[in-house]
Structure 1
Amino acid sequence: MWPSEPGTAYVLKMYPRFSETFIVSEILAREAAGDRIEIFSLRPPRDPRFHAELARIQAPVTYIDRPLRTADLWEAFRAAETAGLTDALARNFAGLAAAEPDDAVQAINLATALSQRNIRHMHVHFASIATSVARLASAITGIPFSFTAHAVDIFHDSVRSEDLRIKLEQAHHAVTISSYNLRHLRRRFPASTSRLHLVRNGLELDRFPYRDPPPVRATVRVAAVGRLVEKKGFQHLLPAAAELVAQGFRLEVRIAGAGTLARELQDSLERLRLTDHIRLLGALTQDQIHELLRTSDVFVAPCVVAADGNADGMPTVLLEAMAAGVPCIGTAVTGLPEVVRDGHTGILASPGSPHALARAIQRICSAGTDRTAMARNARALIEHDYDARRQAQTLRALCQDQKKVP
């Protein structure tokens, strides 16, 4: 029996994913606004860690099978036939045949699952595998799709321009999370972005009560959070700390996160003799991150553009720190200058420069910096531009405007 209220499907590569808290906030906000959401995940979760906010999501989750054997392909066709999709598959056979095999079969399985639901629209995060599958499923079912483009799905060397162009043209609409991304995509695809919109990632602001920053401690506590990968820039934060320690600056740096650079960072802090000043905390839960922010004098997002073109679109934890009243330092990478406005909402440093990071930490802790005014400005910006409730209303309006179907 179909639900009486037409729903919106969120098609995600993997759900839940520990690092993608912005998707959780978005779904919660849309449910609070009255949307009926269903989640379709192309991969099962691999991380046993669990954010408490996930328990608040009402949306059911369906995991879409991937083909592991030849028999799985025939099972997919049989299920599609039972669902009455045979003619639609025949019409779209050329597109399915041109796709990656896994994507094509998962698109058939997704289309079959959607045919058994009352779904009026699909929305996808990241213009990569999940959007490839949703695009094919949309062609089979006639259900329109949209997607949010972030960063790795735009800037990474592996992104194929023709593939991204087709997705932009065939989507009901697309959104991206920063003005930087919007300008970049409009320059790159001038004929294919008439339905591209700016919708920033949102926060549940009630979960981040603001407080004025207290006076800086005698030993400055610096926090940094993110996956331990090149684009996060933690490899530049360590020598910045070494420079400050050599000058007699007292600080304690706490870096939360896990990733491929963990061993390299540990070796670096030992080589730089920073084990008394820097701790690698591993991955933390949301509650633990909130406590880390609450007990920090400075938050640093030392992002860089990686060698493969990968870049951070907008670190969610940077927005959280600004919302909570922690004075923040960011780097001039992609959309970060839109939130870290130098001297007004934070301190902006040159990316990839340990010396610039060291100077920024000194500056944000100096007597000449009005940390309270900076933190209040940051909170006001977050409230104006990053309220999940407003973003949910915008997304809902875009999805409901069926006149935009190309």
Structure 2
Amino acid sequence: MPGWRDARRVWLADLARDRSRNRVRRFGQAMVLAAELPADVDRLYAHFLHTPASVARYAALLRRLPWSFSAHAKDIWTIPEWEKREKLADARWGVTCTRQGHAHLAGLAPVPDRMELLYHGLDFDRFPPPPPSRPPRDGGDPADPLILLSVGRAVEKKGFDVALEALSLLPADLHWRWVHIGGGTGLKALRAEAERRGLADRIDWLGPQPQDVVIGQCQRADLFLLPSRRARDGDQDGLPNVLMEAQIMGLPVVATRMAAIPELIVEDQTGVLVDPGDAPALASALASLARDPATRARLAEAGGIRVRAHFAAGAGLDHLASLLTADASGPDVQPRRPMRN
């Protein structure tokens, strides 16, 4: 392959700093990819800046092709700085889906303009319109409790253990049910914690569900809850699509001042935000909105308007397509020497 020596040199430099099986596998995958690429492929593009971008980078070096990437959340915050810097130096361009991620990566790039902000957005045609009105539940009727909904994997960064603590702090005379949709490695521990707190009979654990079930639950819920936080390994959300999806279907949202969530939710105008990990503040926000259907309706309407105005998928997809179809006849890729810590 034309770029074998350069690719091997870069990989060995990476391996010296990351002596892992993962690093060996990625180079093997890159060699297979480079060997099997059709001759008319003139560039590579990878989603996620961690292992997929490693494969794309090595394969691009092997074939002397330009490459580019999209970065999202975990892939930005859980790989070392040296690796981000070198991928940013080698890539033709990159896009990321939050202002927070863009500022971080542009600050590491030798040419900041190589990084562009491109929100994921939604295909609005996939979602039904909001209901004309929702039942004015206020948590006062035990026969008709307020319905809280969360959608997300049971992993540390989603903060569902904080949700359980907050639910345990709600007033005794507030009647509610919490519906959780999602799988995840932490689901068993969450269910055990709900039992320990005496909440199990007020929670519906639905597990992973197809989109039509998620939509149905959004239509019957009163309030959407996502208490995101930073995990101990550095992993964190970017801008969770489920928040946009809830808002476009007319659900008011309670979330956290975490990651790029404030880029979507204008505090107390299109949703309510609390500090990550603050269960008492979360409980206070839930209790306040539970007893105030009018404020929930106002936040829901404003949230949906903002999503439609600023987070349509079409514009972002059109721009990404223009990047991918741009002139690919630039100079051969000549990797710079790996940086040393």
Superposed CA offset, 1:129-160 (max 9, x none): 1100101111122332211111111222xx11
Greater CA deviation, 268-277 or 96-105?
96-105
Q: Does 1:163 align with 2:89?
A: no
Aligned to 1:349: 274
Task: State the identity %.
Answer: 31
Cα deviation, residue 209, structure 1: 2.4
Higher relative contact order (CA 8 A, sep 6+): 2
Tell me the distance in 2 between the aligned counterparts of 1:124 and 1:236: 34
Aligned CA distance change for structure 1 residues 163 and 213 (closer, same or farther; 3 Å): farther
TM-score, normalised on structure 1?
A: 0.73
Q: 2:119 aligned with 1:200, yes or no?
A: yes
* Structure 2: unaligned runs, 5 residues or longer: 16-22, 138-143, 332-341
Q: Which residue of 1 aligns with 2:10?
A: 95
Q: Considering only aligned residues, what root-mean-square deviation do their CA atoms show, in Å? A: 2.0
Distance 2:11 2:82 in 1: 17
Q: How many residues align?
A: 316
Does residue 126 of the first structure (1) align with residue 45 of the second (2)?
no
Aligned to 2:224: 299
Measured in 1, the distance between the counterparts of 2:7 and 2:292 equals 66
- SS for the counterpart of 2:149 is strand
* Cα distance in 2 between the residues matched to 1:191 and 1:134: 20
Q: Which residue of 1 aligns with 2:254?
A: 329
Within 5 Å, which residues of 2 pair with 1:238-317?
238-244=164-170, 246-317=171-242
TM-score by length of 2: 0.86
**Distance in 2 (alpha carbons) for counterparts of 1:178 and 1:280:** 30
In structure 1, the partner of 2:321 is 396
**Cα pair 2:71 2:97 within 8 Å, conserved:** yes
| 1:183 correspondence with 2:103 | yes
Distance (whole Å) between structure 2 residues aligned to residue 338 and residue 96 of structure 1? 37
Amino acid corresponding to residue 175 of structure 1 in structure 2? V
Q: CA deviation at 1:373?
A: 3.0
Distance in 1 (alpha carbons) for counterparts of 2:267 and 2:294: 11
Contact (CA 8 Å) 1:221, 1:297: kept in 2 or not?
A: yes
The one-letter code of the counterpart of 1:92 is A
- 1:228 equivalent in structure 2: 154
The equivalent residue for 2:335 is: none
The answer on whether the counterparts of 2:66 and 2:328 sit within 8 Å (CA) in structure 1 is no
Other-structure match for 2:302: 377
**Residue number in structure 1 paired with 2:58:** 136
Per-residue CA deviations over 1:48-104 (Å, capped at 9, x if unaligned) read xxxxxxxxxxxxxxxxxxxxxxxxxxxxxxxxxxxxx3x332453323444522111
The 8 Å contact of residues 43 and 60 in structure 2, kept in 1 or not, is answered as no
Contact 1:165 1:192 in 2 (8 A): no
